[in-house]
Structures are given as structure tokens and as C-alpha cells.
Amino acid sequence: MSLADLPTTRVVDEIPWASEKREARIIVPRNDNDGRPLGAVIAAFESMCCRQFGGFTRAESFGVWFDNSAQRVIAESVFAYDIACDLSSDTAVKLRHLAVNLLRDARQSAIYLRYPNGVIEIVE
């Protein structure tokens, strides 16, 4: 069978374009800036994600960045949350609200947020 024999037209025609969802991402540290686990904060964040968007996918990851104020490299274990959502201003407001709450509740200096249109904001 060659590539030309594959039923790509039929498969593409069956994709539900009418309900186009995009993927947003919020990266959440596993510990606060003093090294304390964020179990309760993460549980509250996950509950809010489920209420606002119907669910999420969580992956363990590792983040590294340069902290300009401390003039040092920071490395930490994080959770990356992928959230299927609509591409709308209402969605953007909900996502930013989640990130701002995390910033406060997790006592972070910044939270990584990727909107469903691909734009990235470091919420500070």
C-alpha cells in the first residue's frame, strides 16, 4: 500500500471541525519558593480546571530559567497542564484568572500560561 492509497480524505472529512477546540497550557511548580509542597494549592487548581473546562491532562516535567533578580539559574519539578478549550476571550479571561490565583496561592513570582491561540504570557 502506498501513501496515495490511504483514505486521508475520508478521515479529514470526519474530523469535527464545528467543535474546534484548542489547547492551552499552564505550568505549575510542585513546591513553593521555600520548597514546601503545593499539594492543597494543586488540588484546588485541578478542581477549578475541571469546573471551568471539564478536565485537563497533567504531565510531570522539569523547568529551568534564569532569575534576573537573583542572578542565578532556577531548576524545579513542575506539572504541565494541558487544557482543551475554546478559542475565545471568555476562555482567555478564565485561564488568566487561574494563573493569577496560582501566582498568589502558590506564592510564585511568575506562572507560565500559553493561551489556546499559541500566545505565551509569563504572568507576574
Each residue's pLDDT tens digit, 7-55: 555 555 565 555 688 999 999 999 988 889 999 999 999 999 999 999 9
**Which residues are CB-neighbours of 101 under 8 A, at least 6 positions away?**
45, 48
**Which residues, including other chains, have CB under 8 Å from residue 1's CB and lie 6 or more apart?**
none
State the pLDDT confidence band at 68, using cuts at 50, 70 and 90. Answer: confident
pTM of the model: 0.82
pLDDT tens-place string over residues 76-97: 999 999 999 999 999 999 999 9
Rounded Cα–Cα distance for residues 124 and 114 (Å): 14
Instruction: Check residue 46 and give its pLDDT.
Output: 98
Residue range 97-115: mean pLDDT, rounded: 95
Residue 3 burial (CB count, 10 A): 6
Domain definitions of the chain by residue range: 20-123
CATH class of 20-123: alpha beta
